[in-house]
Chain A
Amino acid sequence: MSTLIPSKFSRRAFIRTSSLAGGGMLIGFNLFTACKPKAEMPIDISKLNFNDFNAFIKIADNGMVTIFAPNPEIGQGVKTSMPMIIAEELDVPWNHVHVVQGKLDTNNYTRQVAGGSQSIRFGWDPLRQTGATARQMLVNAAAVRWGVESSECTASQGIITNAAGETLGYGDVVKEAAKLEVPENVGLKDPKDYKIIGSDASNVDLDEIVSGKPLFGLDYKQEGMLYASVLRPPAFGKKLESYDDNVAKAMDGVVDVIKFGDKVAVLANTTWRAMKAKEALIAEWSDNSPMESTAMHDKKLLALLDGNEFNTLRADGDVKKAFKEADNILERTYESPFLPHNCMEPMNFYANVTDERIHLVGPIQTPEGTANRIAEMLDRDVADIELEMTRMGGGFGRRLYGDFALEAAEISNLAKKPVQVVFSREDDMTAGIYRPAIKYRISASIKDGQITGYHLKEASINSNMYGLIPNFFPAGALENYQVDVAKYDSNITTGAWRAPYTNFLSFAEQSFMDELAELLDKDPVQMRLDLLQKVKGTTDERIQYSAERMEDVINLVVEKSGLRTPKDGVYQGFCAYYCHNTHVAEVADVVIENNKPIVKKVTVAVDCGIVINPLGALNQIEGGVIDGIGHSMYGNLSFEDGTPQSNNFDRYRLIRMKEIPKVETYFVKNTLSPTGLGEPALPPAGAAIAIAIHKATGNRMYKQPFVDQLNKKELVG
Chain B
Amino acid sequence: MINLEQRFLTFQFLSRNVIKLLTQFKTKMPTYNLKINGKSQSVDVSADTPLLWVLRDHLEMVGTKYSCGIGQCGACNVHVDGSAVQSCLLPVAQMEGKNVTTIEGLSEDGSHPVQEAWKEIDVPQCGYCQAGQIMTASAFLEKNPNPTSSEIKNAMNGNICRCASYSRINEAVAVAAKKMK
Q: Do A and B come from one complex?
A: yes
The interface residues of chain A lying within 8 Å CB-to-CB of B154 are: 658
Q: How far is the CA of A269 from the CA of B129 in the complex (A)?
A: 25
Q: Are B57 and A271 in contact (CB under 8 A)?
A: yes
Interface residues as binary, B91-133 with A (CB distance below 8 Å gives 1, 0 otherwise): 0000000000011101101100001001100101111111100
Nearest 10 Cβ contacts at the A-B interface: A212-B63, A393-B128, A75-B126, A212-B103, A626-B164, A649-B72, A209-B127, A272-B53, A211-B110, A270-B57
Q: Are A656 and B62 in contact (CB under 8 A)?
A: no
The interface residues of chain A lying within 8 Å CB-to-CB of B75 are: 344
Q: Are B102 and A212 in contact (CB under 8 A)?
A: yes
The interface residues of chain B lying within 8 Å CB-to-CB of A373 are: none
Q: How far is the CA of A81 from the CA of B161 in the complex (A)?
A: 23
Q: Which of B53, B75, B118, B127 has the most CB of A within 10 A?
A: B127
Q: How far is the CA of A625 from the CA of B31 in the complex (A)?
A: 49
A250 beta carbon closer than 8 Å to chain B: yes
The interface residues of chain A lying within 8 Å CB-to-CB of B166 are: 626, 656-657, 660
A138 beta carbon closer than 8 Å to chain B: no
22 contacts between A and B (CB under 8 A): A77-B125, A200-B122, A214-B62, A218-B66, A227-B57, A247-B5, A247-B19, A252-B1, A270-B45, A270-B49, A271-B66, A272-B50, A280-B5, A282-B12, A393-B128, A393-B129, A619-B165, A623-B164, A623-B165, A649-B68, A657-B153, A660-B164
Q: Kindly state the interface size class of chain A when it binds its partner.
A: 35 or more
Q: Shortest distance in angstroms between A704's beta carbon and chain B's nearest beta carbon?
A: 17
- Within the complex, which residue of B22, B45, B72, B159 is in contact with A657, where a contact is CB–CB below 8 Å? B159
User: Which residue of chain A has the shortest Cβ distance to B20 in the bound complex?
Assistant: A250
Give residues in A with beta carbon < 8 Å to B: 74-77, 200, 202-203, 205-207, 209-216, 218-219, 221, 227, 244, 246-247, 249-252, 269-272, 276, 280, 282, 342-346, 391-396, 424-425, 615-616, 619-620, 622-627, 630, 648-650, 654-658, 660, 662-663
Q: Shortest distance in angstroms between A357's beta carbon and chain B's nearest beta carbon?
A: 25
Contact A209/B23 with A272-B50, A623-B165, A654-B162 known, Cβ cut-off 8 Å = no
User: Which residue of chain A has the shortest Cβ distance to B152 in the bound complex?
Assistant: A657
The interface residues of chain A lying within 8 Å CB-to-CB of B104 are: 211-212
Give residues in B with beta carbon < 8 Å to A: 1-2, 5-6, 8-9, 12, 14, 16, 19-20, 22-23, 26, 29, 45-46, 49-50, 53, 56-58, 60-70, 72-73, 75, 102-104, 106-107, 109-110, 115, 118-119, 122, 124-131, 134, 153-154, 156-157, 159-170
- Within the complex, which residue of A246, A391, A622 is in contact with B164, where a contact is CB–CB below 8 Å? A622
- Within the complex, which residue of A218, A282, A630, A649 is in contact with B70, where a contact is CB–CB below 8 Å? A649
Besides A210-B134, A624-B164, 20 new A-B residue pairs in contact (Cβ under 8 A), listed by A number = A75-B125, A205-B124, A205-B127, A206-B118, A210-B118, A211-B115, A212-B103, A213-B63, A221-B62, A280-B5, A280-B6, A344-B163, A345-B65, A346-B66, A346-B67, A424-B69, A623-B164, A630-B164, A656-B157, A657-B156
Q: Are A344 and B124 in contact (CB under 8 A)?
A: no
The interface residues of chain A lying within 8 Å CB-to-CB of B68 are: 425, 648-649
Contact A425/B164 with A75-B127, A247-B9 known, Cβ cut-off 8 Å = no
- A-B pairs under 8 A by CB, number: 204
Q: Shortest distance in angstroms between B79's beta carbon and chain A's nearest beta carbon?
A: 13
Q: Are A209 and B70 in contact (CB under 8 A)?
A: no
Contact A343/B162 with A250-B22, A649-B70 known, Cβ cut-off 8 Å = yes
Contact A211/B103 with A424-B69, A658-B157 known, Cβ cut-off 8 Å = yes
Q: How far is the CA of A214 from the CA of B63 in the complex (A)?
A: 7
Q: How far is the CA of A625 from the CA of B26 in the complex (A)?
A: 54
Contact A345/B62 with A209-B127, A210-B118, A623-B163 known, Cβ cut-off 8 Å = no
Q: How far is the CA of A590 from the CA of B146 in the complex (A)?
A: 29
Q: Are B16 and A345 in contact (CB under 8 A)?
A: no
Q: Shortest distance in angstroms between B31's beta carbon and chain A's nearest beta carbon?
A: 14
Q: Are B5 and A210 in contact (CB under 8 A)?
A: no
Q: Shortest distance in angstroms between B100's beta carbon and chain A's nearest beta carbon?
A: 14
Q: Are B126 and A392 in contact (CB under 8 A)?
A: yes
Q: Are B124 and A203 in contact (CB under 8 A)?
A: yes
Q: Are A425 and B67 in contact (CB under 8 A)?
A: yes
- Within the complex, which residue of B9, B53, B163, B168 is in contact with A282, where a contact is CB–CB below 8 Å? B9
The interface residues of chain A lying within 8 Å CB-to-CB of B19 are: 246-247, 249-250
Q: Are A218 and B62 in contact (CB under 8 A)?
A: yes
The interface residues of chain A lying within 8 Å CB-to-CB of B110 are: 207, 210-211
Q: How far is the CA of A394 from the CA of B130 in the complex (A)?
A: 12
The interface residues of chain A lying within 8 Å CB-to-CB of B69 are: 424-425, 648
The interface residues of chain B lying within 8 Å CB-to-CB of A250 are: 5, 19-20, 22-23
The interface residues of chain A lying within 8 Å CB-to-CB of B58 are: 270
Q: How far is the CA of A282 from the CA of B169 in the complex (A)?
A: 44
Q: Are A657 and B23 in contact (CB under 8 A)?
A: no
Contact A650/B162 with A207-B119, A210-B119, A394-B128 known, Cβ cut-off 8 Å = no
The interface residues of chain A lying within 8 Å CB-to-CB of B134 are: 210
Q: Are A252 and B62 in contact (CB under 8 A)?
A: no
Q: How far is the CA of A371 from the CA of B62 in the complex (A)?
A: 27
Contact A272/B49 with A202-B119, A247-B9, A425-B68 known, Cβ cut-off 8 Å = yes
Q: How far is the CA of A624 from the CA of B167 in the complex (A)?
A: 12
The interface residues of chain B lying within 8 Å CB-to-CB of A391 are: 126-127
Contact A202/B122 with A75-B163, A213-B63, A252-B2 known, Cβ cut-off 8 Å = yes
Q: Are B53 and A270 in contact (CB under 8 A)?
A: yes
Q: Shortest distance in angstroms between B103's beta carbon and chain A's nearest beta carbon?
A: 3
Q: Are B156 and A276 in contact (CB under 8 A)?
A: no
Contact A622/B129 with A246-B19, A657-B157 known, Cβ cut-off 8 Å = no
Q: Are A252 and B66 in contact (CB under 8 A)?
A: no
The interface residues of chain B lying within 8 Å CB-to-CB of A344 are: 65, 67, 73, 75, 126, 128-129, 160-163
Q: Shortest distance in angstroms between A423's beta carbon and chain B's nearest beta carbon?
A: 10
